[in-house]
Structure 1
Amino acid sequence: MITQRVVIVVTASVVAVLAVVLMVVRWDDANKIAVVMSAVAAVAAVGVGIWAGLPTRRSGGRLRVSRTGKATTGSKGSANTGLSASGGLLTE
């Protein structure tokens, strides 16, 4: 959660600084800055899109769990026999 907040604060700060710069500089200079920043943002967006679409790296190891015991719970509870992991860590 901390990383997400840092990213949003940095992004908002960069946008605010750029907005102030574009308001302060002359029209011709603001136009040039806006064109360059738009090109940079477009390339970054394509790169992030490609990066997000790439498959994640798997560890390649198998997961084996044995003798974890018996799990019991009440009517509204949940039980764990000794292994808790996200779905991406479990093999099929």
Structure 2
Amino acid sequence: NRGLRTVPKPAARFSGGARIFSLGGNFITNISASDFTWYSHLIRLNLQYNQVENIHPKAFEGLSNLEELYLGHNLLSSIAAGTFQPLPRLTVFYGNN
């Protein structure tokens, strides 16, 4: 827990090469269409235990390598149809609240 309220942009020296991104246990409430633009190499994304209420339908575009997505324990009541369509390699999804 780093007290984050938004998805941070990567430092210049890391410029998007991250493969695992753990943002669990913060205070993130919204996932925008551009939050993961810099993280195209991700294979695992953990957003559990935040306060996410909204995920933009295009939030995961460009994450075609993503295999694991953890969204459990947030405040989501619905997710737009097609939100996960850009994730052809997704094999693990945890969305329990």
Q: TM-score, normalization: structure 1?
A: 0.18
Structure with more relative contact order (C-alpha pairs < 8 Å, separation 6 or more): 2
More strand by share: 2
Of Structure 1 and Structure 2, the greater helix share is in 1
